[in-house]
Amino acid sequence: MDLKGAVALVTGGNGGLGQRICHALAREGAHVAVMYARSRDQAESVASELTSRYQINARAFACDITDGAAVDRLVGEVTRAFGHLDVLVNDAAYNVSIPFGDLDNLTLEAWDKIMAINLTGPMRLTKAVAPVMKAQGRGRIINIASVAGLSPTGSSIAYAVSKAGLIHLTRCMAVALAPETRVNCVAPGLLDGTRATANLRAEQIERSASGSLLKRPADKDDCADMVVAMCRTETMTGQTVVIDSGRIFH
């Protein structure tokens, strides 16, 4: 897909990785819908910067992706505002730190919230954009998972399971939406400068990075560039690409 003139909806577009994805898509000439759940000012600032820097159209849209009616409204609003919708990037996520051995604090409330945002939310969004992309005869859906979905790691069991589910949702939706829509997934390792690492000390990040072949955290720009590559490709679907500086082999 040629991204020049395409329209991309990026959930969590005001976050650390989400912003990089928005910039990478806009740099290729795509118009961008920056979706946020909170931090309206930040999302509008991102949209304004995209518009001025890349001479494309960008707007901020609020949505609670745990609300099915709100998701349907969002897709309708974006489609009406831009005229079409070609790319969905499911980057919005939620996490809370609960050590794997601390099952007492792995409450159903925490589990349900993580699943609702990290797994059910992308499923709702995918279902909502599917008929739009089918009618257009083309579409790209890219899910942002995590290496925690491929190995029992991460800040909580619920987070790891939600990302494992998102990886398999990618495969299943690739089957369901072929041949018009390609569905792929990026699974980053530890990314410095994101909400997920905001509470980690520098030495914790360095210690984690030292366990990788490249001795460094994963790079947000590499992840954003992979999203662009997944949009461009014509014969890739149902796949998950790991970007983690060589910590796990998938």
Residues classed as catalytic? 159
Cβ atoms of 86 and 7 within 8 Å: the answer is yes
Task: Sort strands 87-90 and 58-62 into parallel, antiparallel or unpaired.
Answer: unpaired
Backbone dihedral region for residue 14 (phi beyond 0: left; psi -120 to 50: alpha; all else: beta): alpha
Amino acid residing at 172: C
DSSP secondary structure letter of residue 199:
T
CA-to-CA distance for 112 and 46, rounded, in angstroms? 30
Task: Quote helix, strand, coil % in the chain, to nearest 5.
Answer: 50, 15, 35
